[in-house]
Amino acid sequence: MSAAIRFLETVGSNALSAANYEGAVAGLEVDELHRKALLQRNPAALNDILGGRPTMFFGVLAPEEQPLEDEPFEDIPDELPDESAN
């Protein structure tokens, strides 16, 4: 496992102040690209450096569900205001 990934696991379970974070990154044995991405807190750059997947999309397809009604939705409050209170 990469040192950068181990570092992220550690940081994820232990909150660090900004100064402590920078110090921890400075002490890592990683190349300058990893260090720069970590210091900038740039997940996209770190993902590219580590060979991660491109952005993914998750969607749920529900072919068995009936289509929504064509009628416009009307928002009706659960309780009507008490007009006698005026």
Can you give the residue ranges of every domain in the chain? Answer: 1-53
Mean pLDDT in residue range 41-53: 89
More confidently predicted of 17 and 63: 17
| Average pLDDT over all residues of the chain | 81
What's the gap between Cα 15 and its chain centre? 17
Question: What pLDDT was estimated at residue 80?
Answer: 62
Q: Which residues contact 12 (CB under 8 A, 6 or more apart)?
A: none
Using 50, 70 and 90 to split pLDDT, how confident is the model at 2? confident
Mean pLDDT in residue range 49-70: 77
